[in-house]
Amino acid sequence: MSQVPAADATLRVLSHLAAARGPLPAASIATALDLPRSTVYHLLAVLQEHGYVVHLPEARRYGLGVAAFELSGGYARQEPLSMLGRPLLADLVDRVGESAHLAVLHGRDVLYIVEERAPRKPHLVTEVGVRLPAHLTASGCAILAALPLQQLRALFPDDSAFVDRTGKGPKRYRELREVLIRASRDGYASEEGGVTLGLASVGVAVRDHTGWPVAAIAITFAGGTPEETFALALQAGLAAKELSRRIGGHGADRPRPVP
């Protein structure tokens, strides 16, 4: 039980609005959070006064305001994912002896925000600040597999959305869906030669407190047996789970052996 119930209720209201697909009526917020309607109206009024909530009078609904957006901008500027993820990746590389990286989705690309290179391993293209087509990377497919189908379809509306690098990897939506269904089933995504011929990767999504895939941790290696690939996926999954915990999330996908 929180020792500051007003603050707890306020944060619950904001989190509920952030997780919703659109503005909500005050009554539905009160019902979902099991709070008195009068309390919810008072909280919404204060949040509206400070710009964290906007009231849509015609629709009789409330949505997030500009101040909430500014919070997300501050979060991005402080780069907590990079700061929290870097020591985890360094430990991961020490354990497995392979290079690892942390990436976030940016449109149809993944943007690499941390890279930890293992000694005496091949140079990779996944340096910090580099963007690659998400559908060709293990980190990208791990994130894409956790997105709603409507958003996935919006990102890849037709075949022109599929960029090719090496001749490998999905080239149309149906092929991508097969890759993502497999990733959802296995708890991790994998690719071989889609980014660089002769190299393979496994990736596991990092989820926030709503279950949303905010990033992915991936390991790149020279390929191996299914058992070796799964062993690396397990290690990536452990790192992803810990990063999720550190950002207040509920966990990460759990790699499962394929029969």
Domain ranges of the chain: 5-71, 79-252
Of 101, 137, 105, 89, nearest to 238 by C-alpha is 89
What confidence tier does 80 reach under pLDDT thresholds 50, 70, 90?
Answer: confident
pLDDT of residue 258: 62
Was domain 79-252 assigned CATH 3.40.190.10? no
Q: Distance between CA 199 and CA 222 in Å, rounded? A: 5
Q: Do the Cβ atoms of 23 and 56 come closer than 8 Å? A: yes
Kindly tell me if the per-residue pLDDT of 208 is higher than 70: yes
Q: Which long-range contacts (CB under 8 A, 24 or more apart) does 107-112 make?
A: 107/155, 108/133, 108/134, 108/135, 108/155, 108/156, 108/161, 109/133, 109/134, 109/140, 110/134, 110/137, 110/139, 110/140, 110/143, 110/216
Name the nearest CA neighbour of 221 among 194, 241, 192, 258. 192
CA angle 25, 155, 179 (to 5 degrees): 115
* Residue 77 predicted with pLDDT over 60: no
User: What is the reported pTM?
Assistant: 0.73
Please determine whether the domains at 5-71 and 79-252 fall in the same fold group of CATH. Answer: no
The per-residue pLDDT for range 127-170, each reduced to its tens digit, is: 888 999 999 999 999 999 999 998 899 899 999 999 999 999 99
pLDDT value of position 197? 92
Say whether domain 5-71 belongs to CATH 1.10.10.10: yes
